[in-house]
Amino acid sequence: MDKIQGMRTFVAVVETGSFTAASKRLGLTDKLASKYIVALELQLGMSLLHRTTRSMSLTHDGRIYLDGCRRVLAEIDLLDTALQSTSGLKGMLRIAAPLTFGDTVVAAAVDDFMEAYPDVTVDLELADHYVDLAEEGVDLAVRMGSLKDSSLIARKLGEARLIVVAAPSYIERYGLPRHPEELVAHRCIRDANNPDPSRWPFLIGGEWVQIPVTGPLISNSPPACLLPTRAGKGIFICPNVFLGDDLAQGRLIQLLPDFPSRTIAIQAVQLPSAFDRPKVNAFIEILKRHID
């Protein structure tokens, strides 16, 4: 058995808490991961893990060996990083992202990343539920809004601003609102992802005010909301990262620019690890350029 692979498997099992999660992280089967640990223990002549049908914990020797493994593997990864800086990144990068944001901004960043690092295979999973990084073997997840799991390592990528938009045809037909309070009389298209889709927040006179709105459509998909907005059927409040060329090409115009709405944090999260992850770092830098 390759002792380095055994050490990586041992650390992954401890960090993720299970053979199943460790296997997904490393791209192994559960059976092979278990085989690596058993072989490692036989080579060392000691037990590293206490195992029962319901739980798993480190032995005294396992705690000591874990610290040593992390130091050794960190040095190996540093060496690999130094080599990759001249020979290029390789291997697999698993990314999870929200569906709409993934379809637009993250997908564009992946395209640039593949161009820059052709020897890396990207596995992009798009889903609107929070993916368990350890359970799914995900290297990096992109999340919008506040984080629920404080055990993850988070890096802020930027912010999305909610801005109010409408098509020129809507303004010609229904008029231009000049104050948020005038939205009460307009047809508003509402995003169900917002905390309260029927009350839009605005900073008015230094205070946050919730403006009640109504309209013909409520959807949890910003692209679904943008279709009727472009067709002139309503006013929409939308994260600016989803608008693409709509504003630049005049399909939509921004309304109420003097009345800011809320911002949404965009963050990259990953599991804590003793190892440097050059593929993750490289992708984050590219994704930040697409958000800025």
Residue 83: what pLDDT? 61
- Which 3 state secondary structure label does DSSP give 249? coil
Task: Report how far apart, in Å, the C-alpha atoms of 193 and of each of 35, 108, 163, 268 are.
Answer: 45, 22, 15, 19
pLDDT higher than 90, residue 142: yes
Compute the Cα dihedral for 175, 177, 182, 183 and give only its sign. positive
- Who has greater pLDDT, 34 or 274? 34
Of 71, 86, 101, which residue is a domain's last? 86
> Which region among 39-43, 204-208, 226-230, 274-278 has the lowest average model confidence (pLDDT)?
274-278
**What is the residue-averaged pLDDT of the chain?**
88
Q: What is the CATH number of the domain that holds 277?
A: 3.40.190.10
Q: What is the CATH number of the domain that holds 38?
A: 1.10.10.10
Give the pLDDT band (50/70/90) at residue 60: very high
Question: Strand pairing of 214-219 and 187-191?
Answer: parallel
How many domains is the chain partitioned into structurally? Answer: 3
pLDDT higher than 80, residue 149: no
pLDDT higher than 60, residue 167: yes
DSSP state at residue 291 = H
Contact (Cβ atoms closer than 8 angstroms) between residue 292 and residue 240: no
Residue linked to tokens 């390789």: 90
Give the pLDDT band (50/70/90) at residue 214: very high
Residue linked to tokens 């960090």: 15
Residue 1: what pLDDT? 56
pLDDT higher than 70, residue 171: yes
11 lies in the same domain as 130? no
pLDDT higher than 90, residue 230: yes
> Which region among 141-155, 172-186, 252-266 has the lowest average model confidence (pLDDT)?
141-155
How far, in Å, CA of 38 to CA of 149, rounded?
Answer: 32
The residues pairing with 279 across neighbouring beta strands, listed in sequence order, are none
- Who has greater pLDDT, 72 or 74? 72
Residue 18: what pLDDT? 87
Amino acid letter, 108: A
- Short-list 142, 156, 151, CA closest to 94: 142
Q: What is the CATH number of the domain that holds 252?
A: 3.40.190.290
> Which region among 48-57, 79-88, 144-153, 249-258 has the lowest average model confidence (pLDDT)?
79-88
Enclosing domain of residue 210: 160-262
Give the pLDDT band (50/70/90) at residue 273: low
pLDDT higher than 80, residue 169: yes
pLDDT higher than 90, residue 113: yes
153 lies in the same domain as 269? yes
Backbone torsions φ then ψ of 148, nearest 5 degrees: -95, -25
> Which region among 94-103, 132-141, 182-191, 271-280 has the lowest average model confidence (pLDDT)?
271-280
Task: Report how far apart, in Å, the C-alpha atoms of 9 and of each of 90, 145, 175, 209 are.
Answer: 20, 33, 64, 53
Of 56, 86, 116, which residue is a domain's last? 86
49 lies in the same domain as 182? no
Q: What's this model's pTM, rounded to 2 decimal places?
A: 0.62
| 249 class by beta-carbon count within 10 Å (0-12 exposed, 13-18 middle, 19+ buried) | exposed
Of 35, 52, 86, which residue is a domain's last? 86
129 lies in the same domain as 269? yes
Give the pLDDT band (50/70/90) at residue 276: low
How far, in Å, CA of 181 to CA of 164, rounded?
Answer: 13
Residue 268: what pLDDT? 92
